[in-house]
A and B are shown apart, each in its own frame.
Chain A
Amino acid sequence: MTLAELPPLEQWMLLVAAFVLFTSFVLLAQARLVSAIHAFAWQGALIATLTLIVAQAEQSSHLWFSALLTLALKALLIPWMLHRLVRRLQIARDSEALRWPTLAIMAAVALVIFSYWLVLPMVAQELTFTRNIVAISLAVVLIGLLMMVVRQQAVAQVLGFMSIENGLFLAAVSTTGGMPLFVELGVAFDVLVAMVLFGVFFFQIRESIDSLDVDRLNRLTETQPEGQTETRTGETP
């Protein structure tokens, strides 16, 4: 079965999912923090759109609610919180050049291919559609992981973390028609609390190393050099 033979609805969903994957690439390579936050907001909005399409098709009230929740949380609230934090930390104009931008993008492409290869066993029967969408969401998750590896800026890492959550949500909505409502609410609550805590940590990190470059968080290693052990008293009051 080729893609063109799929029902129009599923074709629409695949199109939106492809855009989600595209925003993942944008997030990965976008050097300016504010623009990256905007890209993340767009990703959230696209996922809300996709949920809306599914809700429309299945006439399920629970998915309507879930689309609204995604829009509020992923496209508005979290980007707004990040925006505010970035302004309060006065890093809005910061940009962080990737060390090897081409390599990072190539690695992301490789991850997309890997995701498709990983879901090959699911090729059975009429799963063409599902396979595509699972592969795309897996790719979004893995690119989020890659982003956390290659970016050193704490805010960019949080964006990577949140886009992993987006990938998971994409998988849940498009393959299964959404998880039960109370589970979805619980997950959303956890994500929100995590975001608040990330905000707290931005300030704690800046206070302790005077920067948000997490590569400089390198005090804890297996063997401390001799000089350092003298000054390190750990938790002793």
Chain B
Amino acid sequence: MTALLVVLATPLIAALVLALLRHAGLAGWLNVAADAVSFAAAVALAWQVGQHGDIAGLGLRVDAFNVYLVVLTTFVGLTTAIFSRPYMRHVCASGRIQPWQLRLYHGMYQVFMFTMLLALTTDNLGVLWIAVEGATLATVLLVSLYRTPEAVEAAWKYFILCGVGIALALFGTVLTYFAAQHVLADPVAGLTWSALFEVADRLQPEVMALAFVFLLVGYGTKVGLVPMHQWLPDAHSEGPTPVSAVLSGLLLNVALYAVVRLKMLVDGSLAGTATPHLAGVLLMGFGLVSFLVAGLFLHRQRDIKRLFSYSSIEHMGLMTFAFGLGGPLATFGALLHMLVHSLTKSAIFVTVGHATHIAGTQSIDHIRGLIRTQPAVGWSLLIGVAAIAGFPPFGVFTSEFLLLTATIQSQPWLALTLLSGLAIAFAGLFRHLHPMVYGAAPAGQRPVPANLVPVYIHLGLVLWLGLAIPGPLARWLDEATHLITGSRLL
């Protein structure tokens, strides 16, 4: 319990301190330190859950499923903070943002971490909603940090679309609460996920089906599912690079986590009706459409950060599809994919941040000869994209292979669609990547001071996960699979 409270309290305290701290150099280090503390506490928390089972209390609840995401969130938060310290100072020194905006950035970064961790650990559907909405509010000013017309437009779109989406999720939450009132005596328990899960089979199925549609559209907006994805490429391309990294690596995962939790409730409620797999089918449909549409859109991109945000939509679509497919194999694959995608994608965004500094533009047509100019950045980008496209030695290959196997088992025809989607996405990424990393560098292009340690760590981990998944991690994921589907894989 102590570890859990440290995980949650650290970012909150750090946010307050950072909002007031005027010393820019110290603020960057404090940001890193706070994330390091929460990461250490998250690891301790994971160890406790592994040893003694679930931890619950104070309206919070940690089990195998969410502790895994807590560790991932704090880890990516930490490495991104390490990257962002020199990066944001560089941005501030170049005069693009004022010192008070840097303070805003650091404060909001920690508020964002807090809302993510609260959304993951809370046991209350109402608090989950408040935290996810809070994450939008914390990041919206970060997206418009540079105050260019494009950045303001992106932030407004992000605000309005996610605000409306999440409002629909609140309607779904109210409907769930309404259904619970007929079953549970204690009104406060009506929003408690664990209490609802126990009585899921007695919740009125008609109401729950309607509620799930609203919840899926609401939280699905934040996952970036097509057709509610419009905000995502804009927000990712116009915000500062560390913000793109945490949005893609963390926010999307947390929203998907919310959808999966709610699917577990609805599955329980609909089990005895004529449409027991309604939630799963909806997830599969939305997931597959997002996967294919985003794959096609990759081909049309001219902006490097938009390119990789479409790749995020594509991967979120794949995970949504897998969770919809259900069954232990697909769920295990989807959980592993969440992990490797977050690690790879945040590494790519960090590298892209350096690449845009080298080329002085985000336009793909004008980024050329990265390997010639600065081999470390060029190779990191090449290897990162190879990993995200699903090349064999990396973890993404393993998880996508598992997902394909699961699809062939239950829906063989859809496997063809998946395979062609993967091929389309692969082509879309590499046709843009090839000229960017190889070839001659434009005259006058110089290396920039780069901080690639987070990239090496992330890509190293993804490689390790592709070669051999460590036993404890496999058992851990299996425990989460057991929690979600009710049966084990290993």
> Does the CB pair B137–A193 fall under 8 Å?
yes
Tell me the residues in window 80-109 of chain B with beta carbons closer than 8 Å to chain A beta carbons.
Answer: 90-91, 94-96
- B91 to chain A: closest residue by CB: A237
- Indicate with 1 or 0, residue by residue over A166-179, a CB within 8 angstroms of chain B CB atoms: 01100110011101
The reply to whether the CB of A114 lies closer than 8 angstroms to some CB of chain B is: no
The reply to whether the CB of A111 lies closer than 8 angstroms to some CB of chain B is: no
Whether A236 touches B361, Cβ cut-off 8 Å, given contacts A141-B167, A177-B187, is yes
Whether A168 touches B144, Cβ cut-off 8 Å, given contacts A201-B159, A234-B237, is no
A161 to B162, CA, bound (A): 11
> Does the CB pair A194–B137 fall under 8 Å?
yes
Whether A168 touches B362, Cβ cut-off 8 Å, given contacts A157-B160, A217-B156, A220-B150, is no
The reply to whether the CB of B194 lies closer than 8 angstroms to some CB of chain A is: no
- Indicate with 1 or 0, residue by residue over B118-153, a CB within 8 angstroms of chain A CB atoms: 000000101101100110010011001011111111
**Contact of A186 (CB < 8 Å), options: B130, B159, B362:** B130
Whether A204 touches B160, Cβ cut-off 8 Å, given contacts A234-B237, A236-B362, is no
A138 to B149, CA, bound (A): 35
Minimum CB–CB distance from A89 to chain B (whole Å) comes to 15
CB neighbours (8 Å) of A187 from chain B are 126, 129-130, 170
- Interface size class of chain A, counting residues whose CB lies under 8 Å from the partner chain: 35 or more
- B176 to chain A: closest residue by CB: A176
> Does the CB pair B300–A222 fall under 8 Å?
yes
CB neighbours (8 Å) of A141 from chain B are 167-168, 171
Whether A233 touches B300, Cβ cut-off 8 Å, given contacts A121-B206, A157-B160, A201-B159, is no
- Indicate with 1 or 0, residue by residue over B188-217, a CB within 8 angstroms of chain A CB atoms: 101100000000000010110110000000
The reply to whether the CB of B432 lies closer than 8 angstroms to some CB of chain A is: no
- Indicate with 1 or 0, residue by residue over B338-359, a CB within 8 angstroms of chain A CB atoms: 0000000000000000001101
Tell me the residues in window 81-122 of chain A with beta carbons closer than 8 Å to chain B beta carbons.
Answer: 118-119, 121-122
> Does the CB pair B302–A179 fall under 8 Å?
no
| Interface residues contributed by chain B, number (CB under 8 Å) | 71
- Indicate with 1 or 0, residue by residue over A217-231, a CB within 8 angstroms of chain B CB atoms: 111101110000100
> Does the CB pair A208–B147 fall under 8 Å?
yes
**Contact of A232 (CB < 8 Å), options: B181, B204, B207, B363:** B363
> Does the CB pair B164–A164 fall under 8 Å?
yes
A218 to B141, CA, bound (A): 19
Whether A208 touches B149, Cβ cut-off 8 Å, given contacts A217-B156, A229-B363, A235-B241, is yes
**Contact of A180 (CB < 8 Å), options: B171, B174, B187:** B187
A183 to B171, CA, bound (A): 14
**Contact of B362 (CB < 8 Å), options: A124, A183, A204, A233:** A233
Main secondary structure of the interface of B (DSSP, over half): helix
> Does the CB pair B206–A122 fall under 8 Å?
yes
The reply to whether the CB of A148 lies closer than 8 angstroms to some CB of chain B is: yes
Minimum CB–CB distance from B259 to chain A (whole Å) comes to 19
Minimum CB–CB distance from B29 to chain A (whole Å) comes to 21
CB neighbours (8 Å) of A76 from chain B are none
- B173 to chain A: closest residue by CB: A179
Whether A235 touches B356, Cβ cut-off 8 Å, given contacts A190-B137, A197-B159, is yes
CB neighbours (8 Å) of A186 from chain B are 126-127, 130
> Does the CB pair B362–A234 fall under 8 Å?
yes
The reply to whether the CB of B155 lies closer than 8 angstroms to some CB of chain A is: yes
- A187 to chain B: closest residue by CB: B130
Whether A237 touches B206, Cβ cut-off 8 Å, given contacts A168-B171, A179-B174, A223-B302, is no
CB neighbours (8 Å) of B170 from chain A are 168, 187
> Does the CB pair A164–B167 fall under 8 Å?
yes
> Does the CB pair A171–B302 fall under 8 Å?
no
Minimum CB–CB distance from A180 to chain B (whole Å) comes to 5
Tell me the residues in window 173-211 of chain A with beta carbons closer than 8 Å to chain B beta carbons.
Answer: 175-177, 179-180, 182-183, 186-187, 189-190, 193-194, 197-198, 200-201, 204-205, 207-209
A94 to B207, CA, bound (A): 43
> Does the CB pair B146–A201 fall under 8 Å?
no
CB neighbours (8 Å) of B94 from chain A are 237
A193 to B130, CA, bound (A): 12
Whether A176 touches B238, Cβ cut-off 8 Å, given contacts A190-B133, A209-B149, A236-B360, is no
The reply to whether the CB of B63 lies closer than 8 angstroms to some CB of chain A is: no
**Contact of B174 (CB < 8 Å), options: A119, A164, A171:** A171
9 contacts between A and B (CB under 8 A): A119-B210, A121-B210, A157-B160, A194-B159, A194-B163, A197-B137, A207-B152, A237-B91, A237-B96
- CB-CB nearest 6 A-B residue pairs: A183-B126, A234-B362, A237-B94, A186-B130, A208-B149, A121-B206
- Known A-B contacts: A168-B167, A232-B361, A237-B94. Give 11 more (CB < 8 A): A138-B171, A148-B164, A168-B174, A176-B181, A194-B159, A207-B147, A220-B234, A229-B365, A232-B150, A234-B362, A235-B356
Point out residues on A near B: beta carbons under 8 Å. Answer: 118-119, 121-122, 124, 130, 134, 137-138, 141, 145, 148, 154, 157, 161, 164-165, 167-168, 171-172, 175-177, 179-180, 182-183, 186-187, 189-190, 193-194, 197-198, 200-201, 204-205, 207-209, 214, 217-220, 222-224, 229, 232-237
